[in-house]
Each structure stands twice: as C-alpha cells, then as structure tokens.
Amino acid sequence: MACAVEAFAERKFGPGGPFHPGTPGAWTDSPRVRGSAQIHDRAFTGLVRSLVLCSTWARSDAFLRAAVKFWRWLPEAAPSERAFLEAFYLWIYTPRAHEDGTVGKIIEDVLAFPYQPSTEAIQRSIDAFVAHDTAGRLAQIAAPTLVLAGELDMITPPRYGRVVADGIPGARFEVLAGEAHQPFQEAPGLFNATVDSFWREVEARG
C-alpha cells in the first residue's frame, strides 16, 4: 500500500504534477502556489485503502497532442472569453448539459469570477497537461484501484482509461454510459454510487 501512495504522490508532486513548483500555472507566482502543498506524510500513507481515478490518461498520443494544439490556439483566436469557454466546453460536457442550460450557467459563473487567468497562463497549463506521462509507473500501484471513464469523454476517452487500468495490477475499469469528462459534476449521484460500491467491496475484502 505504501508503494501505491508513493506512486500517487509522485504523480501529483513530481515533475509535471499539479503540486510541483516547476509546473506552469495561472497565478502570478505559480511556483510558490504549486509548491505550497504538503506531500503526504507516513501517517497518511498507512491510512490509504484504495484509489479512484476518473477521466485519466497515462501518456499523450497523437490524437491528444493534436487536440492540445487546438486548445492552445483557442484562447488566442477566440473573439471573447465567452466564445473561448463555449468552444472549450464542447470538449468537457455532455450534449445533455449543453441542452439543459448547465453549461450556460457554468460559463456565467466562470465569467463572473474576478481573477481570470491570462492567455499565457492557460497555455502553460495546457503544456503541462500534454507533458503528463505516468505510463512507466502504473505497475507500482498496489492499492485496489477503480478507473472510471465517461462514455462520451472527448478529452480523455475510455480507451485512455483502459490503458491506465491495464497498467495497474488488479485494477477495475468502468465506463459511465452517457457521461463525459466531468461525471462527478454532471451526474454526482451515479458517480458517488459507483465509487461507494467499489469502496464497500474493498472494505469487505478486509
């Protein structure tokens, strides 16, 4: 279990991870913000019983690299912040969320946020996204692992999640029908029930 937590911590705190000072970010002093997170201590390591990964990938392929080029270009080319969000969220949310007004509300909330990232900050975050590569470390994860993917996810489609699950010994892979990149946001009931069922099985194994 300790090896699994250490592998997870390496993914988060190592080069390219969200808590590594060298990972680009949207803040004025991104290295300080990124580096302010504290890595898990040994007490926490002993408490971790399982791992749930959602909308994940191990290594960028040609499709993802091509998509990233588009996302990188988008904030420069879009005529407004609203147009940028409308185009980008096509990749994030289900047709259902666009149709029922959920995406429109999210866009309004984002536009109302007073601290908007610069185009350069968005592009630096995208660069870190495409540089992500954990394929060689997946086999180190020993914790019971559930990998979830949204059936309609265009950013990290199910085939990416399958690669991750296949690389982790004993991992379970599930596709959430009709969901996209943010099932925990769009369908929290389904997401929580799926994760809770997995956790109960892990607990029952002892």
Domain boundaries, the chain: 1-14+40-59+134-206, 61-131
* pLDDT the model gives residue 202: 93
Mean pLDDT of the chain: 88
* pLDDT the model gives residue 3: 62
Question: Which has the closest alpha carbon to 148: 129, 165, 130, 133?
Answer: 165
Name the pTM for this structure: 0.79
**Which tokens belong to 54?**
């959602």
* pLDDT the model gives residue 186: 96
Q: Kindly report the three-state secondary structure assignment for every residue of 77-114.
A: HCCCHHHHHHHHCCCCCCHHHHHCCHHHHHHHHHHHCC
**What's the CATH class of domain 1-14+40-59+134-206?**
alpha beta
Sign of the CA dihedral 57, 60, 64, 68? positive
Burial class (CB in 10 A: 0-12, 13-18, 19+), 203: exposed
Banded model confidence at residue 78, pLDDT cuts 50, 70, 90: very high
pLDDT at 26 exceeding the cut of 60? no
* pLDDT the model gives residue 52: 96
* Residue-wise pLDDT tens digits, 159-194: 999 999 999 999 999 999 999 999 999 999 999 999
- Report the run of H or E that residue 150 belongs to, with start and end: strand 145-150
pLDDT at 122 exceeding the cut of 80? yes
pLDDT above 90 coverage of the chain, percent: 64
* pLDDT the model gives residue 19: 76
**Tally of CB atoms within 10 A around 142:** 17
Q: 171-192: buried (b, 16+ CB within 10 Å) or exposed (e) per residue?
A: bebbbbeebbbbbbebbeeebe
Which of residues 42 and 22 earns the better pLDDT score? 22
How is residue 168 annotated by DSSP? S
* pLDDT the model gives residue 128: 83
CA atoms within 13 A on the CB side of 160: 25
Collapsed DSSP state (helix, strand, coil) of residue 123: helix
Q: How far apart are CA 99 and CA 118, in angstroms?
A: 29
Q: Residues in the chain, how many?
A: 206
- The arithmetic mean of pLDDT across residues 51-78, rounded, is 95
* Residue-wise pLDDT tens digits, 49-60: 899 999 999 999
